C-alpha cells in the first residue's frame, strides 16, 4: 500500500495538536512519514545516533557559553577556568555538563559503532555512511582530546604531552608533524591556541557538515538496517508521528535529565596549574587512549602508538569493502552461532590479556637498554608477526574445523580486537599506580 | 564526450586546483607563523651558576631551562634534558637510588643519561655546556640527540 506523503502532511497540519512549523520542517526533514515498525524498536538501534546528535547540540550550547569566559593562553587559561567555577553564575554546572557530555559522546559514539557492526549495517548500500561514520568517530575523539588541553592543569598538560609525543615515532614526518601541532618543541602557548581553534572551530564545523550528510544518507538507504531490507513491500509500517517522535522525545528527556543530575551532584576535576617541570606520578593519557599507553609499556613505541592504531583505523574503513557470501544485515550478532562465538572470544580475551600483561611484567626485559634496532625487533617485529601468525591460524581453524561463515568470523575478530583494547584500557586506568606499576585499584 | 560535460569537467578541475592552492596557502600561513613565534625567545644562553659552586659528584636541577646539570666526580659536566626520551615527561632525580626516574612509564636513566630501564629508547638528550670567565652556561638552542653516552659528551672547565 502506498501512502501519499502530501496527504499525511496536510492532515497533520490540520490537527491543532501538532501543527508546529518546527515539526514539519525539522522532524519530517529527518524522518520519512512512515517507517518500518521493526526499525523503531529501541533495542534495534538503542537510539544511539539520535543521542549523539542531541549531545552534540548540548556541547555546542554549553561550549559557546564557556567560550565567553575562557581565555586560550597559558597565563590565563587556568585562571579563566577558576573564574568559570567560582565567579560565573552556574559556571561550574555548565562546565560539568560540557565535560560529562563530552565523555559520554566518546562512549556513545563507540557503542554506536558497535551497534552498526553487530547489525552488519556497514555494508553497501550504507558504505558511504560507514565511511562518514568512521570519520565522525575520529572527530568526536579528537574533539574530546583537543578540549582536554584547555583547562591547562597538570592533568591536561601531561596527557597532551604524552599523547603528542607518540607522533615522534612516526618515521620521516612524525617529528615535523609534532612540531606543527605543538607549534614548537614543547607543549606551550601555540599548542594551546592550536587546540582551541580545532576544538571550538574546525572540529565542530566538520562534525555539523558530516552529521547532515550522515542523516541524509540514512534516509537515502531507506532508513536504518532491518532484515530483508527497506525495499520489502509487505513490511509492516507505522507513522513516524507519534510512534518514533515520541520515543525520541522520551530518550532525549531521560538522557538530558541524567546528565544534569550527574552534573549537579559531582564537580568535574581540576588539578593544580600546569607545571612543565614536574610530571605528576603517574602521568596518564586521556582515558580513551589508555589502551595505547598500556601497549606502550610492553611494545616498541612505533608498534604500540603508530602502527597498531593506524592498522585499526584502516581496517575500520575497509570493513565495508569486504564481500560476504551471506547477507545477515539487520540481524543482531549475525546468528546464534555467531553470538556464542563472540561471547566466548570476549571471555577468553578477558582472561588472556591480563595474563599476557602480567607475564610481560614478570619476565625481565630481554632487551639491553638503548639498543634501538634490537628493541625494534624483539619488542616490535617478533610479537607483531607472532600475533598475525596466531591470528591466521585461529581464523583458519574457525572456518575449517568450526564451520563458521565469514560473517561470524569477521565479527569474532572484531570482538577480539575491541575487547583486547578495552581490557588494556581498564588495566591502564585502574590497575596502574605510582610509577605506572601494576597495583589494585583500591591501593592506588 | 559532448561540449557540456567537457566544460563541466573543466570546472571541476579548476575547482580542484583552486582547492589545492587554498590549502597550500593556508598551510604556509600556519607554518610560517610558528617559526616567527619561536624567534622571539632570544637569549638561549642560560647561566647556571659559578663554577666553584658546582661541586663534583652533584646533580643540580635547573627547571626553568628544563634540564639537570650533572658534575661528575672527575669534574666533567653534562647538561641533561629533563625530557624523557620515551614520550616527553619530565624525569626527576632520585638521590637515594642514584638515578633519574620517569613517572610516566617508569623509564630509568643513570647520571650519564644512559637508559637503565626501558621503555625509553635512547639516552637523554644533552645541551652544550660552556664555561666562560668562571661561569657555567648552557646553550639551550643546541639540543643534542644521542644514542648512548660517550666520554666526549662531558665538558671540562
Ligand atoms: C557525531 C557522531 C554521530 C552521530 C551524531 C550519528 C548519528 C546517527 C543517526 C541518528 C543514525 C540513525 C540510526 C541510529 O540512531 O542508530 C545513524 C546511523 C548510522 N551511523 Fe551514525 N552517528 C555518528 C557517528 C557514527 C560512527 C562513529 C559510525 C561508525 C563508524 C557511524 C555509522 C553509522 C551507520 C553505518 C549508520 C546507518 C546504520 C543503519 O542504517 O542501520 N555513525 N547515525
Ligand atoms: S615518558 Fe618517560 S617513560 Fe614514558
At residue A9, the pLDDT reads 47
At residue A271, the pLDDT reads 92
Structural domain boundaries of chain A? 17-280, 291-444
Chain B residues with at least one Cβ partner in A under 8 Å: 30-31, 34, 37-38, 61, 63-64, 66, 82, 86-90, 92, 101-106, 114-123, 143, 147-148
With a cut of 50, say whether residue B61 has pLDDT above it.
yes
Which of A45-49, A75-79, A236-240, A306-310 is predicted least confidently? A236-240
With a cut of 90, say whether residue A425 has pLDDT above it.
yes
Q: What is the rounded distance in angstroms from the CA atom of residue B23 to the CA atom of residue B26? A: 5
pLDDT tens digits along A247-297? 889 999 999 999 999 999 999 999 999 988 888 878 888 999 999 989 888
**Stronger pLDDT, A198 or A282, i.e. the higher one:** A198
- A221 touches A230 (CB < 8 A): yes
With a cut of 80, say whether residue B136 has pLDDT above it.
yes
Determine the CATH number of domain A17-280. 1.20.810.10
Which of A98-107, A108-117, A337-346, B52-61 is predicted least confidently? B52-61
At residue A22, the pLDDT reads 63
Q: What is the rounded distance in angstroms from the CA atom of residue B135 to the CA atom of residue B155? A: 13
Q: What is the rounded distance in angstroms from the CA atom of residue B109 to the CA atom of residue B117? A: 7
Structural domain boundaries of chain B? 3-32, 38-153
pLDDT band at A5 (very low <50, low <70, confident <90, very high): very low
Instruction: Give the containing element (helix H, strand E) for A118.
Output: helix A91-118
ipTM of the complex: 0.79
- Span A229-243, average pLDDT: 75
φ/ψ of A112, rounded to 5, equals: -60, -40
Return the axis-axis angle of helices A127-149 and A154-165, rounded to nearest 10°. Answer: 130
Distance between first and last Cα of chain B: 80
Ligand of minimum distance to the alpha carbon of B103: 2
pLDDT, averaged across chain B: 83
Q: Report the candidate in A94, A37, A393 with the shortest Cα–Cα distance to residue A237.
A: A37
pLDDT tens digits along A152-194? 999 999 999 988 988 888 888 888 888 888 888 889 999 999 9
At residue A436, the pLDDT reads 78
Which of A30-44, A380-394, B81-95 is predicted least confidently? A30-44
Q: Which residues contact A135 (CB under 8 A, 6 or more apart)?
A: A210
Peptide bond into B119 cis (omega under 30): yes
Cell triple for residue B35?
617559526
- Span A107-118, average pLDDT: 96
| CA distances for A422 relative to A34, A289, A290, B17, angstroms | 39, 10, 9, 44
For residue B101, the cross-strand partners are B92, B108
- A412 touches A404 (CB < 8 A): yes
Q: What CATH fold (topology level) applies to the domain B38-153?
A: Rieske Iron-sulfur Protein (2.102.10)
Smallest CA–CA distance, residue A305 to chain B, in Å, is 10
Ligand of minimum distance to the alpha carbon of B86: 2
**Stronger pLDDT, A204 or A162, i.e. the higher one:** A204
**Residue from the list A164, A277, A375 with its beta carbon closest to the beta carbon of B118:** A375
Q: Is A21 on the interface with B (CB under 8 A)?
A: no
Q: Which residues contact A161 (CB under 8 A, 6 or more apart)?
A: A186, A187, A283, B87, B88, B89
Which of A11-15, A221-225, A342-346, A369-373 is predicted least confidently? A11-15
Report the separation in Å between the CA atom of A162 and the middle of ligand 2, taken as the mean of its atom positions: 8
Q: What 3-state DSSP class applies to A344?
A: helix
Instruction: Give the containing element (helix H, strand E) for B128.
Output: strand B126-132
pTM of this structure = 0.85
Which of A147-156, A331-340, B27-36, B61-70 is predicted least confidently? B27-36
At residue A157, the pLDDT reads 94
Amino acid at each position: 500500500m502506498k501512502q501519499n506523503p502530501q496527504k499525511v502532511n496536510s492532515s497533520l497540519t490540520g490537527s491543532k495538536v501538532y501543527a508546529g512549523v518546527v515539526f514539519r520542517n525539522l522532524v519530517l526533514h529527518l524522518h520519512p512519514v512512515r517507517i518500518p515498525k521493526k526499525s523503531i524498536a529501541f533495542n534495534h538501534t538503542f537510539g544511539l545516533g539520535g543521542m549523539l546528535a542531541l549531545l552534540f547540540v548540548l556541547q555546542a550550547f554549553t561550549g559557546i557559553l564557556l567560550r565567553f569566559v575562557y581565555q586560550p593562553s597559558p597565563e590565563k587559561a587556568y585562571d579563566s577556568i577558576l573564574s568559570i567555577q567560582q565567579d560565573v553564575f552556574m559556571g561550574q554546572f555548565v562546565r560539568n555538563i560540557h565535560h560529562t557530555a563530552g565523555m559520554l559522546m566518546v562512549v556513545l559514539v563507540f557503542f554506536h559503532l558497535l551497534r552498526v557492526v553487530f547489525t552488519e549495517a556497514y555494508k553497501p548500500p550504507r558504505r558511504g555512511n560507514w565511511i562518514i561514520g568512521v570519520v565522525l568517530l575520529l572527530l568526536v575523539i579528537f574533539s574530546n582530546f583537543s578540549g582536554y588541553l584547555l583547562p591547562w592543569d597538570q592533568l591536561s598538560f601531561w596527557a597532551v604531552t604524552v599523547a603528542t609525543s607518540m607522533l615522534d615515532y612516526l618515521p620521516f614526518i612524525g617529528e615535523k608533524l609534532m612540531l606543527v601541532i605543538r607549534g614548537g618543541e614543547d607543549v606551550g602557548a601555540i599548542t594551546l591556541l592550536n587546540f582551541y581553534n580545532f576544538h571550538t572551530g574546525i572540529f565542530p564545523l566538520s562534525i555539523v557538515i558530516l552529521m547532515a550528510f550522515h542523516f541524509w544518507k540514512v534516509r537515502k538507504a531507506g532508513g536504518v538496517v532491518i532484515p530483508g531490507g527497506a525495499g520489502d513491500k509487505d513490511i509492516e509500517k507505522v507513522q513516524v508521528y507519534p510512534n518514533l517522535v515520541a520515543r525520541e522525545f522520551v530518550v532525549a528527556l531521560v538522557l538530558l535529565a541524567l546528565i544534569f543530575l550527574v552534573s549537579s551532584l559531582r564537580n568535574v576535576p581540576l588539578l593544580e596549574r600546569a607545571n612543565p617541570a614536574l610530571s605528576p606520578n603517574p602521568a596518564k593519557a586521556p582515558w580513551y587512549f589508555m589502551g595505547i599507553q598500556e601497549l606502550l609499556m610492553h611494545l616498541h613505541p612505533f608498534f604500540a602508538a603508530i602502527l597498531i592504531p593506524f592498522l585499526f583505523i584502516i581496517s575500520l574503513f575497509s570493513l565495508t569493502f569486504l564481500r560476504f557470501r551471506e547477507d545477515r544485515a539487520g540481524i543482531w550478532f549475525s546468528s546464534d552461532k555467531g553470538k556464542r562465538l563472540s561471547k566466548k572470544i570476549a571471555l577468553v580475551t578477558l582472561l588472556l590479556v591480563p595474563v599476557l600483561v602480567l607475564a610481560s611484567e614478570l619476565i625481565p626485559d630481554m632487551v639491553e637498554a638503548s639498543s634501538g634496532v634490537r628493541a625494534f625487533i624483539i619488542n616490535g617485529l617478533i610479537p607483531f608477526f607472532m600475533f598475525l601468525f596466531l591470528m591466521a591460524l585461529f581464523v583458519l581453524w574457525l572456518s575449517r574445523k568450526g564451520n563458521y561463515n565469514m560473517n561470524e568470523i569477521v565479527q569474532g575478530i572484531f570482538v577480539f580486537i575491541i575487547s583486547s583494547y578495552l581490557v588494556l584500557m581498564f588495566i591502564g586506568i585502574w590497575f596502574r599506580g605510582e610509577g605506572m606499576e601494576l597495583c589494585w585499584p583500591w591501593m592506588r | 564526450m559532448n561540449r557540456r560535460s567537457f566544460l563541466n569537467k573543466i570546472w571541476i578541475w579548476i575547482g580542484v586546483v583552486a582547492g589545492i592552492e587554498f590549502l597550500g596557502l593556508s598551510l604556509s600561513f600556519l607554518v610560517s607563523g610558528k617559526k616567527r613565534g619561536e624567534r622571539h625567545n632570544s637569549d638561549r644562553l642560560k647561566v647556571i651558576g659559578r663554577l666553584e659552586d658546582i661541586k663534583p659528584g652533584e646533580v643540580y636541577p635547573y627547571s626553568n631551562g628544563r634540564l639537570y646539570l650533572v658534575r661528575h666526580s672527575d669534574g666533567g659536566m653534562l647538561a641533561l634534558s629533563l625530557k624523557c626520551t620515551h614520550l616527553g615527561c619530565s624525569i626527576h632525580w632520585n638521590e637515594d637510588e642514584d638515578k633519574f626516574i620517569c613517572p610516566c612509564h617508569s623509564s630509568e636513566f643513570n647520571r650519564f643519561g644512559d637508559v637503565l630501564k626501558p621503555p625509553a629508547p635512547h639516552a637523554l638528550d644533552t645541551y652544550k655546556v660552556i664555561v666562560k670567565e668562571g661561569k657555567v652556561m648552557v646553550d639551550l638552542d643546541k639540543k643534542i640527540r644521542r644514542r648512548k653516552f660517550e666520554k666526549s659528551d662531558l665538558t671540562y672547565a
